[in-house]
Amino acid sequence: MPIHILPENLVARIAAGEVVERPAAAVKELVENAIDAGASEIRVECAEGGRKLLRITDNGRGIPSDEVELAFTHHATSKLADDEGLNHILTLGFRGEALASIASVSTVTCVTRHVDETAGTLLRIDNGRILTRERIGRPPGTTMTVENLFARVPARLKFLKSNQTERGQIDGVLTRYALAYPGIRFALTHDGRVTLQTQGSGLLRDVLPHTHGADVAERLIPFTNEPGAGTVQVEGYASLPTLDHNNRSKIQIFVNGRPVQDTRLAYAVVQAYHTLLMTGRYPIAVVMVRLPPEDVDVNAHPTKAEVRFRDPDSVFGAIQRAIRKALLAAMTPPEPPSVLSAVDLPGLVRPAGEASPASDETIEPPRATGGDPVPRLWERPAAAAPLRGAEAWERVGISRQAQEAVRQAESGRDAAPLPGALPALRILGQLANAYVIAEGPEGLYLIDQHAAHERVLFERMLAQRELGAVVSQSLLDPLPVPLPSDSAWLIEENLPLLHDLGFDLESFGTNTVLVRAVPALMVQDDLPAALRELAGDLERGDAPLQRDIESRVLRRVCKRMAIKAGRVLALSEMQALVRDLEACESPRTCPHGRPTMLQLGLGQLEKQFGRMG
């Protein structure tokens, strides 16, 4: 084929892919135009995830009637005059590519009226061709209607995700701009359903309940750097260490009102929590950075989501110091130990008549009016019911390891241990309320009670799942759980999967999920926090296999419900836990790959004691 110049309309469609790769990108560009136009109210309507319809309405300045067609020309903009302007960009848009790109891959209807004009203009464009232009009455502002996005670009259309996924992406865009511009009233509807609505009070604190949920917003603390601390100004809200997330997606950073993706700045937020969060856990934060426009380059990428700083270290340090200072000020220092707590440790049950170590005197228990002894401060209630032992497997099907042993016995063969199987262990006790000490034929074993219980619960739920008999527990009163809009869409999109795993959930109004039943293990859990974490697991990309998503959700449930370090276990509880672990197919690691036990061999012990020549 000879070399030739591509048709202009084909060039436009190819170039549009750099700016408008999905419906959410079109929403982003049009919302930025509305913000730059000085709008105080922006409404976004979507149908079928934005494929069929996007409509963005604002009350900004509008477009002059003699410039409407020009606005849809490539590289036409009112926000940049010359190359000097690139060093002092004060607007969100400046490239002049958005409207032309959107109009080249869809049908666009622009209805606008400039604030200084008495009549508006209607312009309709179909894939780059102007169809109609007429005068029309309307209030000052602009309405952009985008229909049938990518209808004539099938290569782009077939790579769009499900409607729920695309809705979630649009929700993310509106959420970010609602946070960046709390003085603007935002409203977002999907197929007639309102998913976001802010009041435009100008206070970031008033936006947080709409974007993060009321329960999360209550646990976010404000931060700001010192006045006059250089040219970099930092403010926002960050979560206390008691509230975290399983990935960095809840760290949102804005530079001069522009949402940005910057790994280094996100790391600065994480570093502010150094030693305050567990490894693999991340904070929730909204960080607003303001600095002179000449100190930041926003022209690094067509989507304008990446920026470069003249002095990145100063921005990094300002964020880290501001958040760290707020955290240390908000965290309540521990109570100083009293004589009672130092001698009579919490959880210790001291029999009546036994002398306290701090005194040689015998302490007689006081008696109430009826003559019954009054419990001492150091007395704790009776121990919780022991963990269910290996007999739990009989209710869901015995383990693969046990099945193999039965088959070998029936065939007359000697039972051979499976790879990684545990030997018979004898429980000796508990160390630091976190590790079970056991003796085996190969030496001494230290078993992490949390990791071991995770493995037991995981394989128990897998067995239930394979038999189609996941034990579910209905709640006495259905619980409405408000969630951020993106999390609510993820939960709704995966309702069939979650139902198979023991959840009974349904949509219940704007960004609210009604919980009717959960896996039996989770009845006593913090359900709002659990659902947020499940949504976090679901949002980590589209798993290639449905089974991978199921396994991810099961691991999350088991991690939350496993016994934690710090819990005192009775001997019967430790024995039941180890019996269950012995019945597991992979007893030596938890579902996340962490070891459940460490072994100290007899040879190593003899060497340490000098018993080997």
**Domain extents in the chain:** 8-197, 219-330, 392-600
Complete DSSP assignment for 52-115: SEEEEEE-S----GGGHHHHTSTT--SS--SGGGGGS--SS--SS-HHHHHHHTSEEEEEEE-T
Out of 219-233, 275-289, 418-432, 557-571, least confident range: 418-432
Mean pLDDT across the stretch 413-423?
Answer: 58
Residue 297 pairs in a beta bridge with: 308
* Residue 608: exposure state from Cβ atoms within 10 A (0-12, 13-18, ≥19): exposed
Which residue shows structure tokens 């080249």?
104
| SS3 at position 19 | helix
Q: Which of 75-89, 113-127, 526-540 has the highest mean pLDDT?
A: 113-127
- Closest to 453 (Cα-Cα) out of 571, 599, 601, 557: 557
| Predicted confidence (pLDDT) at residue 12 exceeds the cutoff of 60 | no
Which is higher by pLDDT, 360 or 142? 142
Q: Which amino acid is at 93?
A: G
| SS3 at position 362 | strand
Complete DSSP assignment for 294-360: GGEE--SSTT----EESSHHHHHHHHHHHHHHHHHHHSPPPPPPPHHHHHS-TT----TTPBPTT-S
CA distance 6 to 304: 27
Check: CATH 3.40.50.2000 for 219-330?
Answer: no
Are domains 8-197 and 219-330 of this chain identical in fold? Answer: no
The CA-based dihedral angle spanning residues 26, 28, 29, 31, taken in that order and rounded to the nearest 10 degrees: 120
Tokens of 68: 């409407």
CA distance 306 to 30: 19
Average pLDDT for the chain: 79
Residue 519 pairs in a beta bridge with: 472
Mean pLDDT across the stretch 520-543?
Answer: 71
pLDDT in tens, 67-104: 999 989 877 676 555 555 555 566 786 666 788 889 88
* Bridge-based pairing state of the strands 597-601 and 443-448: antiparallel
**Contact residues for 602 (Cβ-Cβ < 8 A; gap 6+):** 442, 443
pTM: 0.68
| Predicted confidence (pLDDT) at residue 52 exceeds the cutoff of 90 | yes
Residue 101 pairs in a beta bridge with: none
CB contact at 8 A, 123 and 62: no
pLDDT in tens, 155-185: 778 888 888 889 889 999 999 999 999 999 9
Architecture of 392-600 per CATH?
A: 2-Layer Sandwich (3.30)
**Contact residues for 447 (Cβ-Cβ < 8 A; gap 6+):** 435, 436, 437, 438, 577, 578, 581, 596, 597
Q: Which amino acid is at 230?
A: G
pLDDT in tens, 303-340: 556 788 889 899 999 999 999 999 988 875 544 444 43
CB contact at 8 A, 281 and 245: yes
Tokens of 351: 């029999």
Mean pLDDT across the stretch 220-227?
Answer: 88
List the 435-440 sheet strands across, edge first.
Answer: 426-431, 435-440, 443-448, 597-601
| Predicted confidence (pLDDT) at residue 63 exceeds the cutoff of 50 | yes
CB contact at 8 A, 493 and 162: yes
* Residue 458: exposure state from Cβ atoms within 10 A (0-12, 13-18, ≥19): buried
| SS3 at position 260 | strand
Rg (CA), the chain: 31
Model pLDDT, residue 296: 85
Model pLDDT, residue 562: 81
- Give the HSE-up count for residue 380: Cα atoms under 13 Å, Cβ half-sphere: 10
* Alpha-carbon distance values, 577 to 32, 203, 396, 580 (Å): 57, 51, 17, 5
| Predicted confidence (pLDDT) at residue 49 exceeds the cutoff of 70 | yes
* Bridge-based pairing state of the strands 41-47 and 285-290: unpaired
Q: Which of 119-133, 224-238, 323-337, 420-434 has the highest mean pLDDT?
A: 119-133
CB contact at 8 A, 53 and 23: no
Architecture of 8-197 per CATH?
A: 2-Layer Sandwich (3.30)
Confidence band of 554 (pLDDT split at 50, 70, 90): confident
CA distance 592 to 604: 29
Segment (H or E) for 15: helix 8-19
CB contact at 8 A, 303 and 19: yes
- Quick one: what percent of the chain has pLDDT higher than 90? 33
